[in-house]
Amino acid sequence: MEGKISKKLIEAGDYRSAESGGSHRASLGMAKKLCKIGVAVVLAVAVILTLQIFFAVDEHEQVVITQFGEYIRTINKPGLAMKLPFIQAVARFDRRVLATDAPQAEYLSQDKKRLVADPVTRWRIADPLKFYKTVRDEAGARARLGRSPRQTRMTPREVRGSRFQQRRLYVGSPSSSNVKKGRID
């Protein structure tokens, strides 16, 4: 008689009163919990992979993609782009005109008058790969632009050597071959 009652309880869905039904219900509850945890883990991994694979390039930036520090490609067009997750890195550079403001400095002109200059450097990243190889990021470029006072100091030869007595300013290092000079007006 007891077997018939247990069978009826199991068929009716009341597992608690059945002899072996209590452990079966617990294993079903555990399986549901494990299934929910598994789905949550799979979704989290999918979201992380999606965020690592796809990235957006804004219209005001350009991107250099490297793999273990080696150059792979440059992306100059805005839109959605892809990379290998966790292997490739993205270095973003602004394509707008950037400004670096150096501290004010005093100079003596040829006629011994003090001249206070507030130099501002405006620059743009034309070749993102060359920029990445030389200074890595904008902070490195700004540090290099405002690095030493010699970059913004006029030499006596420049002041005296100019035919029209133009005041000139070094933009690059005076010892390098790519020194650019400009008027200060």
pLDDT (0 to 100) of residue 175: 43
Report the candidate in 121, 174, 131 with the shortest Cα–Cα distance to residue 151.
174
As a whole number of angstroms, the distance between CA 82 and CA 55 comes to 6
Report the candidate in 116, 118, 98, 97 with the shortest Cα–Cα distance to residue 106.
116
As a whole number of angstroms, the distance between CA 173 and CA 170 comes to 7
Q: Is 108 within 8 Å of 114 (Cβ atoms)?
A: yes
Rg (CA), the chain: 35
Q: Which amino acid is at 4?
A: K
Show the low-confidence residues of the chain (pLDDT under 70): 1-24, 146-185
pLDDT (0 to 100) of residue 177: 41
Report the candidate in 124, 116, 115, 122 with the shortest Cα–Cα distance to residue 101.
122
Q: Is 140 within 8 Å of 130 (Cβ atoms)?
A: no
Spacing of C-alpha 85 from chain mean position: 15
pLDDT (0 to 100) of residue 92: 96
Both structure tokens of 36: 């929910």
Task: Say if pTM beats, i.e. exceeds, 0.85.
Answer: no
Q: Where are the domains of the chain?
A: 2-44, 97-185
Spacing of C-alpha 154 from chain mean position: 36
pLDDT (0 to 100) of residue 5: 53
As a whole number of angstroms, the distance between CA 34 and CA 36 comes to 5
Q: What is the DSSP letter of 167?
A: -
As a whole number of angstroms, the distance between CA 91 and CA 121 comes to 23
As a whole number of angstroms, the distance between CA 71 and CA 66 comes to 4
The tens digit of pLDDT for each residue in 78-126 reads 999 999 999 999 999 999 999 888 788 888 888 989 989 888 889 999 9
pLDDT (0 to 100) of residue 144: 83
As a whole number of angstroms, the distance between CA 59 and CA 45 comes to 30
pLDDT (0 to 100) of residue 39: 94
